[in-house]
Amino acid sequence: MENQYLRILSRQFPNVASTATEIINLQSILSLPKGTEHFLSDIHGEHEQFAHVLKNGSGAVKRKIDEEFGNMLSEKEKRDLATLIYYPKERMRMIEQSEWGKSMEDWYVVMINRLIQVCKSAASKYTRSKVRKALPKDFAYVIEELITGRRDHGDQEAYFNEIIHTVIRIGKAPELITALSTTISRFVVDHLHIVGDIYDRGPGPHICMDTLMNYHSVDIQWGNHDVVWMGAATGQLACIANVLRFSARYGNLDILEDGYGINLLPLFKFAMDTYKEDPCDCFKLHYREGEYDLANAEIDRKMHKAIAVIQFKVEGQLIKDHPEFHMEDRLLLDKMDLTRGVITIQGKEYELLDKNFPTVKPDDPYALSAEEADVLDKLRNGFIKCEKLQEHVRFLYRKGGLYKTYNNNLLFHGCVPLDDNGQLKEVEINGKKYKGRALYDALEQLLRQGYYSVDAEEKKRGMDMIWYTWCHSNSPVFGKDKMATFERYFIAEKETHVEKKNPYYTWYDRDETVTMLLKEFGLESPESHIINGHVPVEAKKGELPIKCGGRLIVIDGGFSKAYQPKTGIAGYTLTFNSYGFLLAAHEPFESVEKAVETGSDIHSDTVLVQHVDRRKTVADTDNGQNIKQTIKELEELLEAYRTGLLVEKE
């Protein structure tokens, strides 16, 4: 190591004692059990179910309770304890109104002691320093005393009891229980991976984003629905139109109006004027029973159609501006014959289900009307100036990417584009050809330029590539030959609706394919896995999420309520702890009230994907490799002090 680096390191560790202490500390950390990783995918705005799964750690909290209490508690008592950890305030309110309400002090004593035991076990994986930093500020000292002391010593038993009784006597028991519950949920999961698609379909993606921004440790692999919102935040018109169309289609325009404060009045006025007499029957909404005000249905259908037509126009302009995209087959407005009410696609004529296109000029179908252009300009201004949206998108850029390698596993949303022979597909971008990891890296750089670049031309190119990544057949986060949006609205024949999947989905159950993909991303360990989402696993048809003997795991099983009739379950989630991988299948989440009242949990079934022969420690992780490198550097610094190369300081 160069002397200059040692001199810089010596500023932090100025003598033999401080250097040796740090070496001992780091070496000890390597022997701790590996922290639990939690994988979620395709959340699609289901904020209540998302929050619940975060609270229960996909069963990690319940497993910790089982480990600690075994047969000492009944199943009901363990379920009640788990519910208290998930929803402490709500559960305590319910207890106060029950028979326990007359003797809350006794209940507090019992529950605080049980929570301390679970918290102590959950914190045992971490150093005292890490535990201390993670504790809630108001109760940090109290909780640290309760979980680090020895209650089996007579003197300490009295000390512990006095702390608990004093907390209860001064009326702070509810706050301590809440703090302990929060701490347990924090400690059972060390790191969270979101494998794409936070946005669209469900009612609360903005709430999910707020939750993630307050989470202690998280990374995000962008999904196609995240990417289109990222593009909308840049002001990219085709992305804005897609975001609005999806929100209208699922009865979620209030996400934009109430969640983000974006003014939709210009679109409302335009839609009501332009499609006033149009029933817009092709634009029926996929709303959720009991969660949507049907009084808005007619208005939302008109807004839905208005923004869809605008979308087809601005996308057509984009395709014409970028012949290198080779998306001419998506130019369909000019294939319509509105006098006859038909459209010709690949030489075949189809009747249009909707023949009312008042803003589409036969001689220039992709031109926006003056009113449409004005609406888009105002909407663009609203997206760009929405600080909350910009804050959320900056977080996606800061914590996210198109893929991630983490602890010998490869995470991505969608697919690595392959050709029909199962080999990495070569894709041309800006005159250069890329495949595999290089394709991901090139696209990610362009996506970042689309948001951050100060060069107008570079930014414009990046913004257009964000839309490309959202819907192009060569995009790894889309993975289909086309997005048949137009056909699904206006053509009855199902043959036109088919979106053919990338050959990845034909080959990804083969050992040689998975080995090739892992090697492409620098992973050659026999314990490496691919973890991805994007295409729902249809469990009701017998499809399994575990592919290639467990080397590839698909964790999109219908988290979104819109997919649950198709999948038969409410999503898969995955945990990876020191003992191996556990895949959880979930039942639909009814409500927080139901969970608190009955102690019900959406976690329904767990499958062991892989059990390791030797329990994994921090030394086996990416962080462990960094620690080992630091230890090596510190040992060289120690040698420099001992040989006189460097002089110790106080």
Question: What is the share, in percent, of the chain residues with pLDDT greater than 90?
Answer: 76
pLDDT at 308: 98
Categorize the per-residue pLDDT at 608 as very low, low, confident or very high, splitting at 50, 70 and 90: low
How far is Cα 619 from Cα 627, in angstroms, rounded to an integer?
A: 8
Cα gap 113→100, rounded to integer Å: 17
Q: Which of 584, 576, 571 is nearest to 193 (CA)?
A: 576
pLDDT single digits (tens) 105-131: 999 999 999 999 999 999 998 988 899
Per-residue pLDDT band for 605 (boundaries 50, 70, 90) equals low
Please classify residue 633 by burial: count the beta carbons closer than 10 Å to its beta carbon, then call 0-12 exposed, 13-18 middle and 19+ buried: middle
Nearest in space to 248 (alpha carbons), one of 287, 198, 276: 287
pLDDT of residue 589: 77
pLDDT confidence bin for 157, thresholds 50/70/90? confident
pLDDT of 221: 98
Mean pLDDT of 170-186: 94
Nearest to 539 by CA among 523, 550, 555, 525: 555
Looking at residue 565, what is its pLDDT?
A: 73
Whether pLDDT at 619 is above 70: yes
Helices and strands (DSSP H and E) totals, the chain = 27, 17
Which helix (H) or strand (E) covers residue 604, if one does?
A: strand 603-611
In this predicted structure, which of 149-153, 317-321, 345-349 has the lowest mean pLDDT? 149-153
| Local confidence band at 398 (pLDDT 50, 70, 90 cut-offs) | very high
Check residue 567 and give its pLDDT.
66
Indicate the average pLDDT of the chain.
92
Strand-pair category, 546-547 with 403-406: unpaired
Helix (H, G, I), strand (E, B) or coil at 293: coil
Residue 146: pLDDT band with limits 50, 70, 90: confident
* pLDDT of 557: 63
pTM of the entire structure? 0.94
Tell whether the model's pLDDT for residue 1 goes beyond 60: no
Q: What's the confidence (pLDDT) of residue 154?
A: 61
CA distance 615 to 340: 70
pLDDT above 80 for 606: no
DSSP string of 460-476? HHHHHHHHHHHH-TT-T
Of 450, 408, 554, 537, whose CA–CA distance to 34 is shortest? 408
Phi, psi of 590, deg, nearest 5: -85, -60
Per-residue pLDDT, averaged over 239-259, amounts to 97
**How confident is the model at residue 592, as a pLDDT?**
80
pLDDT-derived band at 293 (thresholds 50, 70, 90) equals confident
What per-residue string of b and e applies to 170-185 under the rule 16 or more CB within 10 Å gives b?
A: eeebbebbbbbbbbbb
As a whole number, mean pLDDT of residues 245-274 equals 97
Q: How confident is the model over 475-494, as pLDDT tens digits?
A: 999 999 999 999 999 999 99
What CA–CA distance (Å, rounded) separates 38 from 192?
Answer: 5
pLDDT over 70 (residue 2) = no
* Average pLDDT value for residue range 456-482: 97
What's the pLDDT at 602?
A: 60
pLDDT, residue 460, reads 97
Could you say which DSSP state residue 34 is in? P
Distance CA 447, CA 469 (A): 8
Q: How do residues 538-582 score in pLDDT, each as one tens digit?
A: 776 777 889 999 999 998 766 777 777 766 667 788 999 998 998
- Give the mean model confidence (pLDDT) for residues 42-64: 90
Per residue in 435-454, pLDDT tens? 999 999 999 999 999 999 99
pLDDT of 288 reads 81
Contact (Cβ atoms closer than 8 angstroms) between residue 563 and residue 596:
no
Decide: helix, strand or coil at residue 288. Answer: coil
pLDDT at 147 exceeding the cut of 90: no
Please give the Cα distance from 635 to 630 (Å, whole number).
9
* Residue 15's pLDDT band (cuts 50, 70, 90): very high
Exposure on the CB side of residue 207, measured as CA atoms within 13 A: 15
Residue 14 has what pLDDT? 95
The amino acid that residue 475 corresponds to is: S
CA gap 508, 530 in Å, rounded: 10
Specify whether the CB–CB gap between 560 and 46 falls below 8 A.
yes
Pairing of strands 403-406, 336-337: unpaired
Residue 100 has pLDDT above 80, yes or no: no
Half-sphere exposure of 373 (CA within 13 A, CB side): 6
Label residue 617 by pLDDT band (50, 70, 90). very high
Q: How far apart are CA 563 and CA 205, in angstroms?
A: 16
Q: Report the alpha-carbon distance of residue 534 to residue 12 in Å, rounded.
A: 46
Calpha distance 32→496 (Å, rounded): 56
Strand partners of residue 574: 39, 583
Regarding predicted confidence, which is higher, 365 or 1?
365
**pLDDT value of residue 568:** 66
How buried is 275 (Cβ within 10 angstroms: 0-12 exposed, 13-18 middle, 19+ buried)? Answer: buried
Cα→Cα distances 174→84, 356, 485, Å: 11, 61, 52
Q: Which residues are CB-contacts of 461 (< 8 A; sequence separation ≥ 6)?
A: 430, 446, 449, 450
Q: Percentage of the chain surpassing pLDDT 70?
A: 96
